Structure 1
Amino acid sequence: MNAKVAFEISERLPHLALRMKEHCARAMSYARRMRHLGLPVVYPGLEDHPHHDLLRSMVNPGYGFGGMLCVDMETEERANLLLRHLQNTAQFGLIAVSLGYYETLMSCSASSTSSELDEEDKQRAGISPGLVRLSVGYNGSLEQRWAQFEKAIAAFRREAAVPALPSLTCVAE
């Protein structure tokens, strides 16, 4: 490791715990709020997730269930429409296949990070063509970011002409 990388790590490590707590708390808040809007959310912090109890026994209660969540938009076309509104209409996050950034990063998993899997493997893993993965960021206030999300959902619903989506049934491995 070169000196610059070592220095950057030493500068960021002291506040990693604060960033992770915010990352996880926002993911839980978004998951609950998205569910309230009628969106089919997959998040291990929600009690109906098939692995919730197992994960609850393993996680550090101060940090929650992680900063990743998914919303199933059913089709790739609908997923991409939502992603475009989240990024371009509301500036909620960035379409990217990476993780671990202070901005919210989003992707349609079936056509990006999991595109090499065959359909049977995707189905077994619970990856529908319209599964949108969100790595929740922690910049801006929670309420500001939530208002951006609501703006994107409203634009999506107007354009897609759908009031809500059915709830997703999680696929247990």
Structure 2
Amino acid sequence: MVNQEYGYGGILCLDMETEEKANKLMNYLQNFTQFGLMAVSLGYHETLMSCSGSSTSSEMNAKEQELAGISPGMVRMSIGYSGTLEQRWNQFEKALIRMQEDGLFNKS
């Protein structure tokens, strides 16, 4: 699927290390910047995101998740077709800055 104006959607994975940090990031992305929506499925034209270890891969035990490379803080995002790359990047950056301001991770 492709949007003539914006191009192809894509999947972005980000390891936030813990489920708490993953959920905080997704909360900021959804409610503070309107980047996307938290969901259990990633199939939609809008940007969707989930913490894989506690959602789509929750049927796997901790050892199976580790072997598959799924950390407790793995966030998967299906980037939707609305908005420009610049808009999405600015929204994402605002959420990361907010997390840093809240002391959830250090800027590197």
With structure 2 as the length reference, what TM-score do the two structures score? 0.89
Q: What is the letter of the counterpart of residue 8 of structure 2?
A: H
Would the aligned equivalents of 2:42 and 2:77 in 1 still touch at CA under 8 Å?
A: no
Q: What does 1:100-139 correspond to in 2, within 5 Å? A: 100-139=43-82
Looking at structure 1, the residues matched to 86 and 23 of structure 2 have their Cα atoms a distance apart, in angstroms, of: 24
Determine which structure has the larger helix proportion and give its number.
1
Aligned length: 107
Aligned mate of 2:92, from 146, 149, 155: 149
Q: What is the letter of the counterpart of residue 89 of structure 2?
A: W
Would the aligned equivalents of 2:21 and 2:104 in 1 still touch at CA under 8 Å?
A: no
Would the aligned equivalents of 1:90 and 1:152 in 2 still touch at CA under 8 Å?
A: yes
Backbone CA RMSD of aligned residues: 1.9
Structure having greater relative contact order (Cα 8 Å, sep ≥ 6): 2
Determine which structure has the larger strand proportion and give its number.
2
Is 2:22 the partner of 1:22? no
Match of 2:3, SS?
helix
Q: What does 1:52-91 correspond to in 2, within 5 Å? A: 67-91=10-34
Unaligned 5+ segments in structure 1 are: 1-15, 25-66, 166-173
Unaligned 5+ segments in structure 2 are: none
Looking at structure 1, the residues matched to 41 and 7 of structure 2 have their Cα atoms a distance apart, in angstroms, of: 19
Identical amino acids, percent of aligned pairs: 56
> 1:81-124, CA deviations, whole angstroms, 9 ceiling, x for partnerless residues?
10100001100000002123121100000011111101110001
Looking at structure 2, the residues matched to 160 and 102 of structure 1 have their Cα atoms a distance apart, in angstroms, of: 33
Larger CA Rg, structure 1 vs 2: 1
Deviating more after overlay: 126-135 vs 140-149: 140-149
Would the aligned equivalents of 2:29 and 2:95 in 1 still touch at CA under 8 Å?
A: yes
With structure 1 as the length reference, what TM-score do the two structures score? 0.57
Looking at structure 2, the residues matched to 22 and 164 of structure 1 have their Cα atoms a distance apart, in angstroms, of: 31
